[in-house]
Chains A and B, each alone.
Chain A
């Protein structure tokens, strides 16, 4: 079975540019999560969706960050304009509905803002 698929795997861009990260969750999963991982702050939840609807975006650092989930099989995380402090590994995860379902992670996008 295909796992969570993220693209691109690596992104290097200059500050001020728009960055779009993509995620395809596991088929049939109702929850989708976006995380950011850095050495300093570890793994932080940015936003999560249930049935394509954003439920909690309190972890989104600033208005420069936005996320969408237009359908059950696709989500994007956009940063505009990007800044060097946004450099991190961004993970997408999904889980099945129901109580106590584990999240399954994609391989992440390593983002470097110069």
Chain B
């Protein structure tokens, strides 16, 4: 059974801080790892990572995959209050485009 574990469970920082969120996985026939941001409603797609060592970047957010360590990190620099959300990591394995999600990291950014 595929498994995704995220850490920390929650995090409180101040605006301007840099944060690193962690995701580790066990999956049969790994295909890709995805990061989502969930505020009050739907999870919204951030990144998809398929190749080890290649960083994906979007503004202040970046993510990298380490297939050897079966893990990924999501970095957010110069955090803003609008970054407050639950960040979800998910992996895609063998079956269709099915995802297995981790429990999420709840980030709170204080002004």
Q: Which of B16-24, B44-52, B53-61 contacts A (4 or more CB under 8 A)?
A: B44-52
- The secondary-structure label for the interface of chain A is strand
A25 within 8 A of partner (CB):
no
> In the complex the two chains form, is B31's CB within 8 Å of A100's CB?
yes
Chain A interfacial residues counted at CB < 8 A: 24
**Assuming the A-B contacts A42-B104, A100-B32, are A56 and B45 also in contact, with contact meaning beta carbons closer than 8 angstroms in the complex?**
no
> In the complex the two chains form, is B41's CB within 8 Å of A33's CB?
no
How many angstroms between the C-alpha atoms of A107 and B42 in the bound complex? 5
> In the complex the two chains form, is A102's CB within 8 Å of B45's CB?
yes
A101 within 8 A of partner (CB):
yes
For B64, the chain A residues whose CB sits under 8 A away are none
For A78, the chain B residues whose CB sits under 8 A away are none
How many angstroms between the C-alpha atoms of A42 and B43 in the bound complex? 12
**Assuming the A-B contacts A42-B102, A42-B104, are A103 and B41 also in contact, with contact meaning beta carbons closer than 8 angstroms in the complex?**
no
> In the complex the two chains form, is A100's CB within 8 Å of B45's CB?
no
Task: For the complex formed, measure the closest distance between the CB of B97 and the CB atoms of chain A, giving whole angstroms.
Answer: 5
CB-CB contacts below 8 Å: A53-111 with B: 55-56, 91, 95, 99-108
Total A-B contacts with CB atoms under 8 angstroms apart: 53
> In the complex the two chains form, is B101's CB within 8 Å of A108's CB?
no
**Assuming the A-B contacts A105-B43, A105-B44, A107-B42, are A100 and B101 also in contact, with contact meaning beta carbons closer than 8 angstroms in the complex?**
no
A43 within 8 A of partner (CB):
yes
B99 within 8 A of partner (CB):
yes
CB < 8 Å: which of A3, A33, A43, A95 contacts B88?
Answer: A43
How many angstroms between the C-alpha atoms of A25 and B64 in the bound complex? 30
Nearest B-chain residue to A9, judged by Cβ: B41
Nearest A-chain residue to B100, judged by Cβ: A45
For B36, the chain A residues whose CB sits under 8 A away are 105
> In the complex the two chains form, is B99's CB within 8 Å of A103's CB?
yes
For B99, the chain A residues whose CB sits under 8 A away are 33, 45, 103
CB < 8 Å: which of B32, B42, B97 contacts A91?
Answer: B42
For A56, the chain B residues whose CB sits under 8 A away are 95-96, 98
CB-CB contacts below 8 Å: B55-111 with A: 88, 92, 95-104
CB < 8 Å: which of B31, B41, B48, B95 contacts A107?
Answer: B41
